[in-house]
Amino acid sequence: MVLQDLGVAIRKARDARGLTQLQLATAAGLSRNTLNRLENGVFPDLGLRKAQAILRELDMEFAIKPAESHAQKLKFASMASTSANVSFKKELTSEELVHALLTGKATPGKAAHFIVLLEESPSVILKGLVDEVGALAKPGKVEKNLKKIAEQVGLDESGAWLKKIA
């Protein structure tokens, strides 16, 4: 399980119980900001005790199971980062790509990678990437963040890349 998966599971369980982020965070002894960042997949590192406190409030627990290979789990993120790296010495990792799509902030020093990704990747890869990472966030967030990233790297919002994800 990656941290983004934990955040998605927590948000779904919290929503199903009709709890606000503030209510759950307070009950678990955390700040609402910490819970918000976890649910949105942008918390850099969450200690086991904090995670257990949240899960305990939701009547949930960790389960240990064999891991899926990372490549299988984030298939489109892996393909998209490979596509973005074609002409560059330094690579944009799939983890950096997912983080960028969840935060709306292009990875520093990798603007050219995002330009290549958006302008040259086949639409099936971009759509798959948006769907795959979109499952880790609130509906519409990844599309919105992709537009922010495109603006950050100097791409016009009316560009052909936008039609690829529509």
Check whether residue 53 and residue 75 sit in a common domain: no
What's the pLDDT band for 44 if we cut at 50, 70, 90? low
Q: Which domain holds residue 74?
A: 70-165
> Percent of the chain, pLDDT > 90?
32
pLDDT one-digit tens code per residue, 62-121? 777 766 544 446 688 888 888 888 778 889 988 899 999 999 999 999 999 999 999 888
Check whether residue 83 and residue 41 sit in a common domain: no
Check whether residue 40 and residue 74 sit in a common domain: no
Check whether residue 44 and residue 83 sit in a common domain: no
CATH number of 17's domain: 1.10.260.40
Residue 64 domain-assigned (yes or no)? no
Query: CA–CA separation, 103 vs 74, rounded Å?
Result: 17
pLDDT one-digit tens code per residue, 1-21? 566 778 888 888 999 999 999
